[in-house]
Amino acid sequence: MSAFPSDPSPSTDARTPLFDRMAVIGMGLIGGSVARRAMGDHGIARELVAFDADPAARDRVRALGIAHDVPDTLADAVRNADCVMLCVPVGAMGAAAAAAMPHLRPGAILTDVGSTKQSVIREVQPILRPEIGFVPAHPLAGTEHSGPDAGFATLFEGRWSLLTPVDGAAPPEAVVAVEALWRRCGAMTRRMDPAHHDKVLAIVSHLPHLLAFTICGTADDLEGESRSEVLQFAASGFRDFTRIAASDPTMWRDVFLNNRDALLEMLARFTEDAQAMARAIRWGDDDFIVDRIERGRRIRRSLIEIKQA
């Protein structure tokens, strides 16, 4: 079977699988969810192979039955695969790609799910073999949970998966194949420039996580009775922050460090806006405060209208 199918249909009905053999490297929330979807009747792969560097995670994947095969080495996992998807933290993408590269079959597609695209491209492109198609991608879906047990087959339904193809890194058919893969996972797809992707994600994902970690750190630094009361009487707003702050620390450390320029730019803009709000509260500027609240309400209504809430 060709590694580059031409059917980009978003339907998830049973059909000829896109790939004979697909390897998912890294069995956390995203990798585990892709594996569960591929093991269903969604026309993704005839054989789903999973690998994780952690032996305990491999054992758990075997116990859960969410892959046809779980080899003990990355080389065995990617060998003869039509498509290899890297689902490791962005800081480990380069090492994972380098370990896989000698064992990839000619014509195979290499893709990823990293939240920062410029850094992944910088790591992978220099080691890319000319006969391997590299298609960077990023599904905008997730929860605060991690590990093989965290995934579920419907995670990507109704969510976006952004593709950031690089000129010369893959033939057009490979990009179409990865689009088809995500659509059969239930996602909507869009192509985007890598730098633009990183700037957009800095404000819609990376900055909110940074704020959540910081707010929870501030609460944790409170002394004695105040800290216990924060936990005891936590309102829904603070609880929402704690849910985000429960996310995997290794993954988010890597995201912050690998998208630092865009993240710091958005943090500076947010800091200016927060200072403006502080001035309005200090001087009783009712109109400014109400305007900011109304703008937040409009954004929430817009998310509901486009079914992304």
Q: Is the pLDDT of residue 235 over 80?
A: no
For residue 9, what pLDDT is reported?
44
Please state the pTM of the whole predicted model.
0.88
CATH superfamily of 196-305: 6-phosphogluconate dehydrogenase C-terminal like domain (1.10.3660.10)
pLDDT digits (tens, 9 = 90+) for 272-286: 999 999 999 999 999
Query: Per CATH, the architecture of 19-192 is what?
Result: 3-Layer(aba) Sandwich (3.40)
Q: Confidence class of residue 210 from pLDDT cuts 50, 70 and 90?
A: very high
Q: Is the pLDDT of residue 289 over 70?
A: yes
Pair 157, 43: CB distance under 8 Å:
no
Closest by alpha carbon to 143, among 261, 33, 62? 33
pLDDT digits (tens, 9 = 90+) for 132-143: 999 999 999 988
For residue 103, what pLDDT is reported?
97
Residues above pLDDT 70, as percent of the chain: 95
Pair 139, 30: CB distance under 8 Å:
yes
Where does CATH 3.40.50.720 sit in the chain?
19-192
Over residues 125-150, the mean pLDDT reads: 93
For residue 14, what pLDDT is reported?
52
For residue 10, what pLDDT is reported?
42
For residue 11, what pLDDT is reported?
42
- Which has more pLDDT, 303 or 130? 130
Residues above pLDDT 90, as percent of the chain: 77
Q: Is the pLDDT of residue 240 over 90?
A: no
- Which has more pLDDT, 296 or 8? 296
pLDDT digits (tens, 9 = 90+) for 10-57: 444 457 899 999 999 999 999 999 999 999 989 999 999 999 999 999
* Count of other CB atoms within 10 angstroms of residue 23: 31
Q: What is the mean pLDDT of the chain?
A: 91
pLDDT digits (tens, 9 = 90+) for 166-196: 999 899 999 999 999 999 999 999 999 999 9
Closest by alpha carbon to 15, among 202, 258, 180? 180
Where does CATH 1.10.3660.10 sit in the chain?
196-305
